[in-house]
Structure 1
Amino acid sequence: MNSKKKNPIKQILAIRGMGGALTAFVGLIIIYCVFGMINHTVFAGENVMNLLRSMSKYLLIGIAQSFVLITGNIDLSIGSVAGMSAMIAATLMTHGVNPFVAMLITLLCCVVVGVLNGFLVGKFKLPPFIATLGTMFVARGVAYMVNGNRNTDAIATGIGKKAADAFQDFFYYGTTLGIYNTFLISIVLFVIFFFLLSKTRSGRHIYAIGSNVDAAKLSGVDVVATTTKAYLVSAFCACVVGFILCAQAGMGNMEAGNMYEMYGVAAGVIGGVSPLGGTGILLGTLAGSAVWQTLENGLNMIGAQVGIQRIVIGIIVLVTWNA
């Protein structure tokens, strides 16, 4: 037989967005090693575990924004939905509602925002920047109003210390086999959404409308349904981040999730997800969120001011996009 075996390395590199993902992983290794040589504490096991836990929020927000970016759209409401999630869940729990029930109600509220975003952009053809800017203000307004324009009390005041500890341990402080649950939750969701995006028809449709929406329509893709699915993923991930923020603080903060929509864009872009749509994989988002958190962690450990940290990360985003 004269058939040639395909080179597996070339096959991997040919995957759409793999180049950007590998570049981000190489950058991550370099950045981590440089900071580790400057301050050996960076390599300490405790610091690594804390880094992974902190990275989890950026990973989930990055997944949320990446799904939308690949469709050629953007979601500015992510941070506000996370804040709304934290406030609704915390408010319900401070009023004695069972944590599981509180989470279900909160998830339903976040899903409503996701569906609204999908219909505004997909069906009513509003520019995604305008549509999600509007829902961003609405979601943040709900976060303010749900507890009477003030942060909540500690959730333990309503559901008791035992239930509050269980909620906080599950989403933030607890560990399983020595690994923080926060990181495990984010990795499980990463695997699920990686599969959905790369191995299912819905995932192919998301790439299709991001590459050429008119061609996707002619191919029979339901643009409204696909766009709504992407925004639903975004709302779901933002909701989970809200639970994490609530568990971390043990209460609801009206400003929780502020600027997280931009963190999601940064995690995706650093990992090779194109804001123009049609390109990128969640492996890149994983690398991008790790780069972001490693930069924050390393710059903090060498004593860099917060302003310097933001400038460095901004430069990284610009260099990555131009590359």
Structure 2
Amino acid sequence: MKKQSPLKRIFAIRGMGGALTAFAGLIIIYIAFGIINPAVFSGQNVMNLLRSMSKYLIIGIGQSYVLITGNIDLSIGSVVGMSAMIAATLMTMGVNPVVAILITFVCCMIIGVLNGILVGKWKLPPFIATLGTMFVARGVAYMVNGNRNTDAIASGVGKDAGETFQNVFYYGKTLGVYNTFWIAIIIFIVFFFLLSKTRTGRHIYAIGSNVDAAKLSGVSVVKTTTKTYLVSAFCSFVVGLILCGQAGMGNMEAGNMYEMYAVAAGVIGGISPLGGTGLLLGTLAGASVWQTLENGLNMIGAQVGIQRLVIGIIVVFAVLLDVVVRNGVFKKKPAKN
């Protein structure tokens, strides 16, 4: 039997084609914007680009886990807002930032468990189930501080503790790069390993490919589905802390539309919304493409409407391409005798 070349083996990995295509598109887009406006290539812009991209990467990871099972999580943006508001409210009340973070973590995980039970155990359509928890989480974000944004977190925990929190999650740097980026990379590495190298990862792909066959193979659909929603809730929790650190306060509208940004990051990078296919490497590429487009269009003075239009077209095209490939349009037809 003839051995495949290393390059062919790489392309044979399901989802690798979408990831590499996204990376190629990223390079083309970045160079194109840089030619139009050389300031795109500046060191400070690159640093800002990496920091902004990190938020999309983190929520994209959470959504990608859910998408691979053939489900979706519409509660992501609201959990982001809930995380930011709970953490900020507690800190303005004088609660130690570490304790505030732990309490916020537990609250976000409750939403993840609820999503997993509703979708995995009670068989609610994921769109409906997570639409409901989306409103629940946003409602909590509004109520936690009496339907108003919080004061500055430093007003409760003090200037030093407030600045430390902000530096850890947003403004601080390590090795010359913003901490937000390092947080995203650590989360990416951990969840990339879990998805690609563990039994849970194999179960996630199995459910997305064929849920009935997965059940017959002994896969616990309820547990595995709940795990993916917990990953999604965790990623939303982290992004909520990042937005809280960025603003230095809690904003009730924090995370608005982030569920859509998360879907875009995954889908642009080759994560199939139909389930069973995709790599987190693609999510990294998709988040980078999204933020590069947003950054580049801003720097050339494009209106917000045009930005949304361009990105929307790219998302639709990515999904359409996935459907076409799955239907075998590009497969060779057997030769007629």
Query: Could you tell me the TM-score, scaled by structure 1's length?
Result: 0.99
Distance in 2 separating the partners of 1:177 and 1:167: 18
Displacement after TM superposition at 1:8 (Å)? 1.1
Q: Which residue of 1 aligns with 2:284?
A: 286
Q: Which residue of 2 aligns with 1:129?
A: 127
Displacement after TM superposition at 1:16 (Å)? 1.1
Q: Which residue of 2 aligns with 1:246?
A: 244
SS in 2 for 1:278: coil
Q: Which residue of 1 aligns with 2:329?
A: none
Q: Which residue of 2 aligns with 1:96?
A: 94
- Cα distance per residue 1:269-297 (max 9 Å; x no partner): 10000111001000000000000000000
Displacement after TM superposition at 1:10 (Å)? 1.1
Q: Which residue of 2 aligns with 1:51?
A: 49
Q: Which residue of 2 aligns with 1:28?
A: 26
Q: Is the aligned partner of 1:170 residue 2:171? A: no
Partner residue of 1:266 out of 261, 264, 267: 264
SS in 2 for 1:111: helix
Q: What are the within-5 Å matches in structure 2 for residues 72-221 of structure 1?
A: 72-221=70-219
Q: Which residue of 1 aligns with 2:299?
A: 301
8 Å contact kept, 2:273–2:319: no
Calculate the aligned-residue CA RMSD, in Å. 0.7
| Amino acid corresponding to residue 44 of structure 1 in structure 2 | S
Distance in 2 separating the partners of 1:262 and 1:6: 39
| Amino acid corresponding to residue 223 of structure 1 in structure 2 | V
Distance in 2 separating the partners of 1:92 and 1:322: 45
Query: Could you tell me the TM-score, scaled by structure 2's length?
Result: 0.94
Displacement after TM superposition at 1:6 (Å)? 3.5
Q: Which residue of 2 aligns with 1:317?
A: 315
8 Å contact kept, 2:74–2:259: yes
| Unaligned stretches of 5+ residues in structure 2 | 322-337
Q: Percent identity?
A: 80
Partner residue of 1:41 out of 36, 39, 42: 39
Runs of 4+ in 1 over 6 A off after TM superposition: none
Displacement after TM superposition at 1:316 (Å)? 1.1
Displacement after TM superposition at 1:175 (Å)? 0.2
- Equivalenced residues, count: 321
| Amino acid corresponding to residue 206 of structure 2 in structure 1 | A
Partner residue of 1:67 out of 65, 68, 79: 65
Q: Which residue of 2 aligns with 1:256?
A: 254
Displacement after TM superposition at 1:52 (Å)? 0.3
8 Å contact kept, 2:115–2:226: yes
8 Å contact kept, 2:79–2:237: yes
- Cα distance per residue 1:168-219 (max 9 Å; x no partner): 0000000001000000000010000000000000000000000000000000
Displacement after TM superposition at 1:322 (Å)? 2.1
Displacement after TM superposition at 1:4 (Å)? 4.4
